[in-house]
Amino acid sequence: MNKSCYGLLFAGLLVVTGNVFAADEKAEEKKEKSPWTASAELNYIKTTGNTNTQTTGAKLDGVYEVDKWRHTGHAEAFGQTSREKETNEDVTSAERYEVQGKSDYKFTERDYAFGLLKFKRDRFSGFDYEYTASLGYGRKILKQENMELDVELGPGMRWYKVDGEEAETEGLLVVAANYWWKISDTSKFIQQLNFDFGETYSDSKSVTGIQANINKTLALKFTYTLRHKSEVPPDTVKTDTETAMTLVYNF
């Protein structure tokens, strides 16, 4: 084979290799620009308050972000059933569900409007159900490379039913804050605060956690959650806590 043939073969290999790398880069770029992000969590949970249990739970989060819109969804559930020795019957000792959907519209890099819908049902809280809907204004008051802080404020409505009583409706003032701090390339601290100030009772939730990445898709997270109501039905307590160790899968 003469030198010109070798040259043509070498040039052809360069072209093919270049096309392969270009295709890989475009695929990676396209993947990075996907508007969807999601994560699933499997929890080991220890609770105190209206239920004192050690159990497992699950959470699912999804985010769709494009242009000035960001839509987020969240669902979580946990429960525990044990068998009594005396009656040999299964007894549920913990059961809670929570689902919420939220949409943000960005006016500027820091300012946005939001709409939020939430549904909660905790079988042992004394409430049959709780629905809330709210609208408001949010601002990113801290924006750095390794940390961010968002605060939100707005009016809302709550629909709820106490066990054995009639359904009720009341107005709300909703306040929230969401902070994260990237401690290192593989670890992050989070703090979330939510307050629903109502005419009959106020509801608050605090989640404090730290997350350590195992690889690009798996992470281990430890969280401490505190839930508090200012007024509760008889035979229930105002404060519940959860200490959870979580395996997070990002996809």
Average pLDDT, consecutive stretches of 10 residues, N- to C-terminus, the chain (251 residues): 43 44 50 82 80 80 94 89 65 82 96 97 88 97 95 97 93 97 95 96 96 93 95 90 91 85
Whether residues 23 and 64 share a domain: the answer is no
- Please give the backbone phi and psi of residue 25, each rounded to the nearest 5 degrees, phi first: -65, -40
pLDDT at 51: 65
Whether residues 47 and 26 share a domain: the answer is no
pLDDT at 21: 46
| Total domains present in the chain | 2
Instruction: Tell me the β-bridge partners of 5.
Output: none
Whether residues 47 and 106 share a domain: the answer is yes
d(CA 43, CA 53): 13
Whether residues 18 and 73 share a domain: the answer is no
pLDDT at 83: 59
**β-strand pairing of 187-198 with 36-48:** unpaired
Q: Which CATH number goes with the domain that contains 229? A: 2.40.128.130
AA identity, residue 85: K
Q: State the residue range of the domain holding 120.
A: 35-250
What tens digit of pLDDT does each residue of 137-183 get? 999 999 999 999 999 999 999 999 998 899 999 999 999 999 999 99
Whether residues 18 and 110 share a domain: the answer is no
pLDDT at 113: 98
pLDDT at 200: 94
